[in-house]
Homo-oligomer: A and B are copies of this chain.
Amino acid sequence: MKASDLHLKTLKEVPKDESAINAQLLIRAGFIEKLTSGVYNFLPLGLKVIYKIEDIIRTEMNNLGGEEILMAALQPQKNWEQTKRWKTFNALLKVKSQYEQWYALGPTHEEVVTPLAKQFVLSYKDLPLYLYQIQTKFRDEPRPKSGLLRTREFIMKDLYSFHRDEKDLDSYYEKVKKGYFKIYAQLELPVMMVEASGGTFSKYSHEFQTITESGEDTIYHCSHCGFTQNAEIIENKKQCPHCKHQLEKLKGIEVGNIFKLKDKYAQPFGLTYIDFHGHKRIVMMGCYGLGVSRLMGALAEVSHDQHGLIWPAAVAPFKYYLLPVLSGDKKLDQSIKKATTDLYQDLIKQKVEVLYDDRQDVSTGEKLNDADLLGVPYRLIISSRTIKNKSVEIKNRKTGLIKTIKIKTFLKNI
């Protein structure tokens, strides 16, 4: 893609109304735009990242046996009355139709997926069942000021599992844990699993936290035995309750959480099945959340330097950022431009994702700065120096290492 076709515009100034580093960088690099407090628009580059994160998640969900569906955001009040959450769910945004009906603007989908599962689940033969969606959710956050980490509207993957008994739920729950770690590995996001409140139904739920100073959550961790809990549930914050070693206090961004719901939602909606012996039994449920837009924010938050974003290859909007560096010598510059265009065409032919910075009214210095700011994994430069022996200069955004190789060799080994 050409930068001119993308209408690429970056900002030099840090947006004044953003204190979170992820929002500052993503806005400056033109990935997102702030519509209003806690609500963002995704611009072309940002949406590319979102789609790539979604695809990684989708593949893993399908590997876990998940069937993809898409549930509505407008959820009838009566479903929320049934679980007694209409008045108690603090962050619930409520919408009133002119025609007397009230809706909850879905912050989660237990109230929709549980009655929906009744149409799939009749007997033990229909279980287990795994339904997931990637969908836009809403939460009435009090003071959203963490960029994409805490917003009133966000994209989320939510998976719901339905089981014959607790044993089957337990075993699937462990599988999902592994699946989540596979996702984080592809995102190159270091993540720690943390015990958190299990509500009234389970001893613990589990959060996946990426450790960073700017994280909103506090975690206590024992480096000796591995004990790790969210500060919210820990009583003695000095000593590990298992091995008595001193606990370490860490800050983290929650980038996923999983719960054993057991019969919490199956009960109010009467989600039952007929077992092998003809007896009616309650369905056991689990739910597994993963914030797509939050993951994008978390990546920006933990993977950047003073020059800008540093995307992992799997979700970068482009793999290469290509630009010519001109010399001022007319004839030489013509061949530099031609070599750059040729390389661009070759990369496009090979279906390599490349951003060709062909902007006319932007200086080389600005282009180099933008290449760093955008965080594309590799920067390719053709200059008076490289043109001599038909080579290209490659800079690794993450390591900063630069090497020059023959264009032919580069294209062959791509």
A interface residue numbers (CB < 8 A to B): 5-7, 9, 33, 35-37, 39-44, 46-47, 50, 65, 67-76, 93-99, 101, 105, 112, 116, 119-120, 125-126, 129, 136, 138, 140, 142-143, 152-153, 361
Contacts and interface: CB of A to CB of B under 8 A. Distances in A.
A72 B35 contact: yes
Contacts of A36: 74, 76, 101
A7 B118 CA distance: 12
Contact of A136 (B73, B95, B96, B125): B73
A72 B119 contact: no
Given A33-B119, A361-B125, A138 B69 contact: no
Copies of chain A in the complex? 2
A98 B105 CA distance: 13
B119 A9 contact: yes
A274 to B, nearest CB: 13
B361 A112 contact: no
A125 B39 CA distance: 30
21 contacts: A5-B65, A7-B126, A35-B75, A35-B76, A36-B76, A37-B101, A39-B76, A41-B72, A42-B70, A44-B67, A44-B69, A72-B153, A73-B73, A73-B136, A73-B138, A74-B138, A95-B95, A98-B140, A98-B142, A125-B361, A136-B136
A310 B249 CA distance: 61
Given A33-B119, A47-B70, A153-B74, A99 B142 contact: yes
A172 to B, nearest CB: 15
B99 A140 contact: yes
A98 B125 CA distance: 45
A348 to B, nearest CB: 14
Contacts of A94: 95-96
A235 B91 CA distance: 52
Contact of A9 (B44, B71, B98, B120): B120
Contacts of A152: 74, 97
Nearest to A111: B35
Contact of A116 (B41, B68, B98, B125): B41
Given A94-B96, A95-B95, A105-B105, 11 more contacts: A7-B120, A9-B119, A35-B75, A36-B76, A44-B68, A44-B69, A73-B136, A74-B138, A95-B105, A97-B152, A99-B142
A47 B66 CA distance: 14
A68 to B, nearest CB: 6
Most-contacted residue by chain B among A41, A112, A142 (CB, 10 A): A41
Contacts of A72: 35, 39-41, 153
Contacts of A76: 35-36, 39
Contacts of A33: 116, 119
A41 B113 CA distance: 9
Nearest to A65: B5
B140 A71 contact: no
Nearest to A42: B70
Nearest to A154: B72
B97 A67 contact: no
Q: What 10 pairs across the A-B complex have the smallest Cβ distances?
A: A42-B70, A36-B76, A41-B71, A7-B120, A44-B67, A39-B72, A74-B153, A39-B74, A95-B95, A35-B72
A93 B119 CA distance: 30
A158 to B, nearest CB: 13
A138 B101 CA distance: 14
A105 B93 CA distance: 11
Contact of A95 (B35, B70, B93, B112): B93
Nearest to A47: B70
Contacts of A9: 119-120
A317 to B, nearest CB: 12
Nearest to A105: B95
A115 to B, nearest CB: 9
A70 B73 CA distance: 16
